């Protein structure tokens, strides 16, 4: 029995020892018999020794949220806490200047008053930290400057840290343990090229940082300023310009004042940018633009030389030659001229309110109106003199051989006959040179069409079904492209609400460009005359060029070009391959203030613009290279020299 009793006592003692060992150094998992009382405690330091300026992580439990609520002292010297664990199990601090070896203490504010706790001893050594070099600001200097300040960012910088510039020690100023500053002179970096920068901490401890390259580059020079629009000025430099450095509205000043800068536009030339001002330039005024911001090249070179350039206010290339027409319904006046077309020396004006197609002969210095194709109330034909079209002004004639509110361009064949749209569900009709009537394509699945022209033997029209229709003139075989919508390959012509889309074909017939009044953009179609026309992007609604992805373009403020249209109504391909687009331009409230013409490169990149004092309709270029623009509101048509 005695032997059994002795074995039981031994087992009890072993069990008690095991329980004590499992409770930890201070009698519990948190030093409180295994219970967390919610009070802060320091458990260990990582590392527990190091030089002034080195980082230390204090591990523990129940620290306070917020940097200011965890005050760490190294043997009484306050340090800076710069990171707190979201779970409040550690704080990161840095050994302060003047610290000596001794215990770490913390004042922790949990909201119920400051509590001071003590942790292990931290040994302050004479070792210097290993320096790190992460970045240079700026990373490039400009030739020609007498001094260039450079900020070095990294870590482990001490008062005794040395900086080597291309292997040679250079004077440096420590501004923080993570920052140093040097000042370069022309003697330090006398030529274009790269120069290595390195930080050295001498023993004890210490070491050498990474090497970063500082580049010396040529400065960027401001060469000239040219007005390219009533409120846009092209600035040209001698090397690629960093457009981001020019994005500030305070980067430029104009004299006389043009108020604030609206946007900075890009061009295909990397050496130039376009500044858009809030106020338009006055006529025949000399201006000066001065660069007042930190413009740099893409290589990092700063502006050197002249900061100001003079320029003359904008004079757009198209010069008004003459204007024709007046309100009326006979063979020499106009009613709602919405489009104009040419073949040879003949011009054709589509009049939506006049129910006719006016025919005129283009002359070197003028135009002779010959009469109209339509119905004079008696018969369909070609009518001249004082004849008046049926239903003019603005009434829809009875069904029969009478045009009803024709819209869009006309397609003119080699014999002088025209294909013209006939509204109110009456399809596309053909009128020969004498005006004899023939139905061509009846309305089918659509009600109203807008003619776009005759190209490659195909009659092309846009319809209110959201499609572009291409009908072979000889066989009437039909191909369609598109659908209603705003996505890739979709159209919103807004024909039912008065929209009149227009189309232009490039000389190679590789691309067709169609305006979409409802989507406020220009739609590009590749291989339009083939059996499978393909979507090739849109321009407008904030795009920079023809965009095939229809990327959303949020307003970036001052930045790169954002092309926007308001009900674009006309488009032509200019002899130099550029595009000219007419739209309603600037709106004030619900009232159209004025129209405009905008010029684009074939890629869709903006070049220049002209504000008009009227709302433009369709436009076309005649055989002599003159631009004709219809003026529906004033019942006129204007002829410009390019």
Q: Are residues 136 and 204 in the same domain?
A: yes
Residues 6+ apart with CB under 8 A from 236: 223, 224, 225, 226, 269, 271, 272
The pLDDT score that the predictor gives to residue 524 is 94
Count of positions (residues) in the chain: 642
Boundary of a domain, candidates 165, 194, 217: 217
pLDDT, average across residues 454-459:
95
CATH classification at residue 234: 2.60.40.1220
Per-residue tokens: 616 = 């433009």
Q: Considering only CA atoms, give the Rg of the chain.
A: 40
pLDDT, average across residues 111-140:
92
Specify the DSSP element, H or E, that contains 185: strand 179-185
Secondary structure E strands in 517-604? 521-526, 534-540, 570-573, 579-583, 587-588, 591-592, 595-600
The pLDDT score that the predictor gives to residue 544 is 64
pLDDT, average across residues 153-168:
93
**Of the candidates 568, 573, 426, the residue with the CA atom closest to the CA atom of residue 492:** 568
pLDDT, average across residues 231-247:
90
State what percent of residues in the chain have pLDDT above 70: 90
The pLDDT score that the predictor gives to residue 243 is 85
Mean pLDDT over each residue of the chain, to the nearest integer:
86
Q: Are residues 499 and 396 in the same domain?
A: yes
Q: Are residues 169 and 112 in the same domain?
A: no
Q: Is residue 508 assigned to a domain? A: yes
Distance CA(397)–CA(373), nearest Å, equals 15
Q: Are residues 209 and 279 in the same domain?
A: no
Contact 516, 523 (CB under 8 A): yes
Which residue is associated with the tokens 């010297």?
A: 77
Helices (H), 411-483: none
Helices (H), 453-577: none
The pLDDT score that the predictor gives to residue 317 is 60
Contact 156, 202 (CB under 8 A): no
Per-residue tokens: 383 = 């009518």
Q: Are residues 301 and 357 in the same domain?
A: no
The pLDDT score that the predictor gives to residue 316 is 61
Q: Is residue 1 assigned to a domain? A: no
Q: Is residue 213 assigned to a domain? A: yes
Distance CA(97)–CA(78), nearest Å, equals 9
pLDDT over threshold 90, residue 592:
no
In degrees and rounded to multiples of 5, residue 223 shows phi and psi of: -95, -50
Classify strands 619-621 and 626-631 as parallel, antiparallel or unpaired.
Answer: antiparallel
pLDDT, average across residues 176-192:
93
Instruction: Put residue 374 in one of left, alpha, beta given phi > 0 → left and psi -120 to 50 → alpha.
Output: left
User: pTM for the whole thing?
Assistant: 0.61
Q: Is residue 27 assigned to a domain? A: no
Q: Are residues 457 and 565 in the same domain?
A: yes
Residues 6+ apart with CB under 8 A from 114: 107, 108
The pLDDT score that the predictor gives to residue 547 is 74
Q: Are residues 605 and 578 in the same domain?
A: yes
Q: Is residue 481 assigned to a domain? A: yes
Name the band, by pLDDT with cuts 50, 70 and 90, for residue 593: low
Q: Is residue 6 assigned to a domain? A: no
pLDDT in tens, 7-64: 433 444 444 444 333 444 333 334 444 467 889 999 999 999 988 878 899 999 999 9
Q: Are residues 404 and 298 in the same domain?
A: no
Q: Is residue 249 assigned to a domain? A: yes
Q: Is residue 12 assigned to a domain? A: no
Quote the Cα angle for 33-34-38, to 5°.
100
pLDDT over threshold 60, residue 436:
yes
The pLDDT score that the predictor gives to residue 358 is 93
Boundary of a domain, candidates 293, 312, 331: 312
Per-residue tokens: 231 = 């409120």
In degrees and rounded to multiples of 5, residue 142 shows phi and psi of: -110, 130
Contact 631, 638 (CB under 8 A): yes
The pLDDT score that the predictor gives to residue 188 is 93
Distance CA(238)–CA(493), nearest Å, equals 44
pLDDT in tens, 530-582: 999 999 989 887 666 677 766 554 443 333 446 788 899 999 999 889 999 99
Boundary of a domain, candidates 78, 106, 124: 124
Of the listed ranges 95-109, 151-165, 247-261, 292-306, the one predicted with least confidence: 247-261
pLDDT, average across residues 181-210:
94
Residues 254-266 as b/e (b if ≥16 CB within 10 A, e otherwise) read beeebeebbbbbb
Of the listed ranges 159-163, 317-321, 435-439, 461-465, the one predicted with least confidence: 317-321
Q: Are residues 467 and 614 in the same domain?
A: yes
Max distance between CA atoms of the chain, in angstroms, equals: 145
pLDDT in tens, 473-517: 999 999 999 999 988 899 999 998 889 999 999 999 999 999 999
The residue range of the domain holding 246 is 221-312
Number of structural domains, the chain? 4
CATH classification at residue 143: 2.60.40.10
The pLDDT score that the predictor gives to residue 604 is 85
Name the band, by pLDDT with cuts 50, 70 and 90, for residue 313: confident
Distance CA(437)–CA(419), nearest Å, equals 10
State what percent of residues in the chain have pLDDT above 90: 56
pLDDT, average across residues 332-345:
93
How would DSSP label each residue in 127-179? PBPPPEEEEEESSEEETT-SEEEEEEEEE---TT-EEEETTEEE-EEEEETTE
Q: Are residues 141 and 289 in the same domain?
A: no
Q: Are residues 67 and 203 in the same domain?
A: no
Distance CA(461)–CA(528), nearest Å, equals 12
Per-residue tokens: 328 = 């009326």
**Of the candidates 180, 173, 184, the residue with the CA atom closest to the CA atom of residue 145:** 184
Distances (CA, A) of 333 to 358, 615, 630: 9, 19, 13
The pLDDT score that the predictor gives to residue 323 is 93
DSSP assigned state of 495: G
In degrees and rounded to multiples of 5, residue 350 shows phi and psi of: -85, 125
How would DSSP label each residue in 194-217? EEEEEEEEPSSB-EE---EEEEEE
Q: Are residues 116 and 146 in the same domain?
A: no
């Amino acid at each position: 029995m005695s032997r059994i009793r002795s074995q039981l006592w031994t087992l009890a003692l072993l069990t008690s020892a095991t329980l004590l060992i499992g409770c930890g150094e201070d009698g519990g998992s948190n030093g409180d018999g295994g219970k967390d009382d919610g009070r802060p405690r320091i458990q260990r330091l990582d590392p527990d020794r190091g030089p002034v300026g080195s980082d230390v992580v204090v591990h523990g439990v129940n620290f306070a949220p917020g940097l200011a609520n965890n005050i760490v002292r190294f043997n009484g010297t306050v340090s800076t806490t710069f990171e707190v664990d979201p779970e409040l199990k550690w704080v990161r601090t840095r050994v302060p200047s003047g610290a000596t070896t001794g215990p770490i203490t913390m004042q922790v504010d949990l909201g119920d008053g400051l509590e001071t706790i003590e942790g292990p001893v931290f040994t302050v050594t004479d070792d210097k930290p290993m320096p790190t070099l992460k970045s240079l600001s700026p990373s490039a200097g400009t030739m020609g400057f007498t001094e260039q300040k450079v900020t070095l960012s990294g870590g482990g910088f001490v008062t005794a840290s040395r900086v080597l510039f291309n292997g040679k020690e250079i004077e440096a100023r420590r501004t923080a343990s993570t920052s140093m500053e040097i000042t370069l002179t022309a003697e330090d970096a006398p030529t274009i090229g790269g120069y290595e920068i390195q930080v050295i901490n001498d023993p004890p401890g210490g070491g050498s940082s990474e090497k970063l390259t500082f580049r010396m580059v040529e400065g960027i020079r401001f060469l000239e300023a040219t007005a390219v629009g009533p409120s846009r000025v092209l600035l040209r430099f001698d090397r690629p310009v960093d457009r981001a450095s020019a994005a500030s509205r305070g980067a430029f000043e104009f004299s006389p004042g043009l108020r604030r800068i609206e946007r900075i536009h890009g061009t295909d030339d990397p050496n130039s940018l376009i500044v858009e001002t809030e106020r338009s330039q006055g006529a025949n005024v000399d201006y000066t633009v001065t660069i007042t911001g930190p413009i740099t090249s893409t290589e990092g070179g700063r502006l050197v030389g002249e900061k100001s350039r003079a320029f003359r206010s904008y004079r757009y290339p198209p010069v008004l030659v003459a204007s024709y027409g007046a309100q009326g319904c006979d063979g020499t006046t106009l009613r709602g001229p919405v489009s104009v077309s040419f073949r040879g020396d003949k011009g054709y004006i589509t009049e939506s309110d006049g129910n006719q197609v006016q025919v005129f002969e283009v002359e070197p210095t003028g135009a002779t109106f010959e009469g109209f194709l339509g119905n004079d109330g008696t018969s369909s034909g070609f009518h001249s003199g004082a004849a008046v079209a049926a239903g003019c002004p603005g009434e829809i004639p009875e069904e029969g051989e009478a045009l009803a509110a024709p819209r869009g361009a006309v397609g003119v064949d080699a014999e002088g006959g025209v294909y013209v749209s006939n509204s109110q569900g009456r399809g596309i009709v053909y009128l020969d040179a004498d005006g004899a009537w023939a139905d061509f394509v009846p309305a089918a699945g659509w009600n109203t069409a807008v003619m776009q022209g005759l190209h490659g033997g195909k009659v092309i029209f846009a319809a209110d079904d959201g499609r572009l229709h291409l009908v072979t003139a000889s066989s009437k075989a039909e191909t369609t492209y598109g659908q209603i919508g705003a996505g890739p390959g979709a159209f919103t012509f807004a024909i039912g609400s008065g929209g009149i889309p227009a189309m232009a074909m490039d000389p190679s017939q590789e691309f067709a460009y169609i305006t979409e009044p409802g989507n406020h953009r220009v739609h590009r179609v590749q291989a339009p005359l083939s059996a499978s026309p393909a979507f090739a992007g849109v321009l407008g609604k904030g795009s920079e060029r023809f965009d095939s992805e229809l990327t959303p373009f949020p307003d970036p403020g001052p930045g790169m070009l954002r092309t926007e249209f308001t009900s674009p109504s006309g488009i032509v391909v200019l002899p130099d391959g550029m595009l000219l687009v007419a739209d309603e331009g600037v709106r004030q409230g619900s009232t159209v203030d004025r129209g405009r013409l905008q010029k684009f490169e074939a890629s869709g990149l903006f070049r220049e613009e002209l504000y008009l004092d009227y709302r433009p309709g369709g436009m076309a270029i005649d055989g002599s290279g003159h631009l004709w623009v219809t003026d529906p509101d004033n019942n006129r048509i204007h002829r410009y020299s390019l």
